[in-house]
Amino acid sequence: MQTKIAIQGVKASFHEEAAIKYFGGDIETLECDSFKQTCEMLKHGKADYVVMAIENSIAGSILPNYNLLRDYRFHIIGEVHLNIQQNLLAYPGVKLEDIQFVESHPIAIRQCDEFLSDHPNWTIKEGMDTAACAKKIADEKLKNTAAIASALAAEIYGLHILEKRIETNKKNATRFLILANEVTEQKNANKASLSFQTGNAVGSLAAVLQCFAEQNVNLSKIQSMPVVGRRNEYDFYVDVEWKKQAEYDAAIRKVLKHTVNFSILGEYIKNEKV
């Protein structure tokens, strides 16, 4: 039986590419309209895993997904980095001068702002997913609309690539998290995602960060999110990396003394291959 992976988007989306990169080609991808729907699929056992984008090297953190991590409390069992190459796709036979509308996911649009600024006469429309916008052009045979999506989307939906590699920064990469309902122990884990709250006293957060520094545990990311309904209170989400397990364990013991609502969201193997 194939492993079922819930993804936001449709076939040939970057989420499906990330799923294949992590799990291999022998998987069944479950297409979802939203990230929340992917979480519901996992929660109710209809999917084995969720692949969820969490940050992009150009557009930054995908903040709503941190709320989903908080609300669903799934376990992060891995990560995958995907080099994002954006292309301008159109229906076969359509030329650049025929384009009036360009449609894609908001983050993909932001990634290509330099290219789009060279075409001020185009109307930019936001869609739910890069590949879904490509599929719409193919299904509806749109002759005045282009989509920003991957080369795989062009291949799958039979579209023509008008312009290749239109992303502003060629080192454009997205980091995806692999989420599961159950904890699976990762041998040789060297990275963890944690969440916690601190007090409002001066230096509260600094004290926590110092605990990691003293144990040679590297802080690779920190993200704050307001605690809903509580003024001046924040959840902190941090990613840490270590070389010696004992140093990480010691850091966690120290951090527990300075935090409340501390949670290990996942311990896994660092992945940087783009």
What pLDDT, on a 0 to 100 scale, did the predictor assign at position 128?
A: 87
Structural domain contains residue 246: yes
Residues paired with 268 in a beta bridge: 191
User: Mean per-residue pLDDT for 6-11?
Assistant: 95
Tell me: the pLDDT tens digits for 209-260?
Answer: 999 999 999 999 999 999 888 887 899 999 999 999 999 999 999 999 999 9
The CATH number of the domain where 97 resides is what?
A: 3.40.190.10
Report long-range pairs for 268-272 (Cβ below 8 Å, ≥24 apart). 268/76, 268/77, 268/78, 268/79, 268/178, 268/186, 268/189, 268/191, 268/192, 269/78, 269/186, 269/188, 269/189, 269/190, 269/191, 270/79, 270/190, 270/191, 270/241, 271/78, 271/79, 271/80, 271/81, 272/81
- Half-sphere exposure of residue 161, counting CA atoms within 13 Å on the CB side? 15
Residue 10 and residue 72 in one domain: yes
Residue 10 and residue 60 in one domain: yes
What pLDDT, on a 0 to 100 scale, did the predictor assign at position 181?
A: 95
Residue 48 and residue 75 in one domain: yes
Tell me: the pLDDT tens digits for 162-194?
Answer: 999 999 998 889 999 999 999 888 889 999 999
Structural domain contains residue 212: yes
Residue 259 and residue 240 in one domain: yes
Looking at the chain, the whole-number percentage of residues with pLDDT higher than 70 is 99
Residue 113 and residue 158 in one domain: yes
What pLDDT, on a 0 to 100 scale, did the predictor assign at position 232?
A: 78
- Sequence-ordered list of residues with C-beta below 8 angstroms from that of 101, at least 6 positions apart, any chain: 122, 123, 124, 125, 144, 145, 146
Check whether 29 has a pLDDT greater than 70: yes
Tell me: the pLDDT tens digits for 250-274?
Answer: 999 999 999 999 999 999 999 876 5
Residue 248 and residue 143 in one domain: no
Tell me: the pLDDT tens digits for 94-146?
Answer: 999 999 999 999 989 999 999 999 999 999 999 989 999 999 999 999 999 99
Residue 18 and residue 73 in one domain: yes
| Structural domains of the chain, count | 3
Residue 149 and residue 78 in one domain: no
Check whether 76 has a pLDDT greater than 90: yes
**Model's pTM, two decimal places?**
0.91
User: Mean per-residue pLDDT for 66-92?
Assistant: 96
What pLDDT, on a 0 to 100 scale, did the predictor assign at position 221?
A: 96
Structural domain contains residue 206: yes
Residue 95 and residue 60 in one domain: no
Structural domain contains residue 274: no
Check whether 91 has a pLDDT greater than 90: yes
Domain boundary among 113, 147, 180: 180
What pLDDT, on a 0 to 100 scale, did the predictor assign at position 201?
A: 81
- From CA 271, how far away is CA 78, in angstroms rounded? 8
Q: Choose the weakest-confidence range: 154-158, 185-189, 194-198.
A: 185-189
Residue 94 and residue 195 in one domain: no
The CATH number of the domain where 251 resides is what?
A: 3.30.70.260
Structural domain contains residue 33: yes
Residue 120 and residue 233 in one domain: no
**Which residue range is the domain that position 63 belongs to?**
3-83+172-180
What pLDDT, on a 0 to 100 scale, did the predictor assign at position 177?
A: 98
Check whether 73 has a pLDDT greater than 80: yes
Q: Of 107, 113, 92, which Cα lies nearest the Cα of 157?
A: 92
Structural domain contains residue 185: no
Question: How many other C-beta atoms can be found within 10 angstroms of the C-beta atom of residue 206?
Answer: 11
159, two tokens: 């579209």
Domain boundary among 128, 151, 180: 180
Structural domain contains residue 247: yes
Residue 74 and residue 197 in one domain: no
Structural domain contains residue 186: no
